Amino acid sequence: MKKTLLILIMTLAGAFAADVEKGKALYLEAQCQKCHLQGENFDPNSVNKAGKVSKVKDVQGIHKWVQGCDNYFSIGWFPEEQDLVSRYLNAVFYHLEK
Ligand code: HEC
């Protein structure tokens, strides 16, 4: 029983890490780093404005912005891909619970 639980937890953690990796790949492929840099250096306001002041308050907010920049730059991500990118940004930069 304990072993099953452990395997379940490890599988979930593995799936989570894989999603973050996919999100990272999408992010780099779309060249978001040109303005926002990457990883923990993610710059919410991009190189155009000074200061790392984020307007995001929750995970939904990250998603809204990812969607916004996706549309604006005509990347053409599917909602699931926007979700992966949001998860990547939350994992490396925002660290928001919900
Ligand atoms: C040409 C530069 C540029 C590119 C390329 C770009 N962004 Fe942005 N992005 C901005 C600017 C500027 C803002 C801030 C707008 C504002 O505050 O009004 C922003 C805001 C954001 C925010 C909200 C930051 C916060 O915490 O307030 C997220 C998330 C984001 N972009 C994700 C992305 C993603 C994902 C991509 C790749 C598809 C991307 N951006 C590509 C310029 C860019």
pLDDT of amino acid 1? 67
CB of 56 shorter than 6 A to ligand 1: yes
Say if ligand 1 is within 6 A of residue 62 CB. yes
Q: Which residue has the tokens 């029983």?
A: 1
Residue 89 · residue 23 · CB < 8 Å: yes
Which structure tokens are listed for 98? 């919900």
Q: For residues 23-56, b (16+ Cβ closer than 10 Å) or e, as one string?
A: bbebbeebebeeebebeeebbbeeeeeeeeeeeb
Q: What is the pLDDT of residues 24-57, one digit of tens each?
A: 999 999 999 999 999 999 999 876 666 778 999 9
Q: Whose CA is nearest to atom 19 of ligand 1?
A: 45
What pLDDT does residue 48 have?
A: 67
pLDDT digits (tens, 9 = 90+) for 59-79: 999 999 999 999 999 999 999
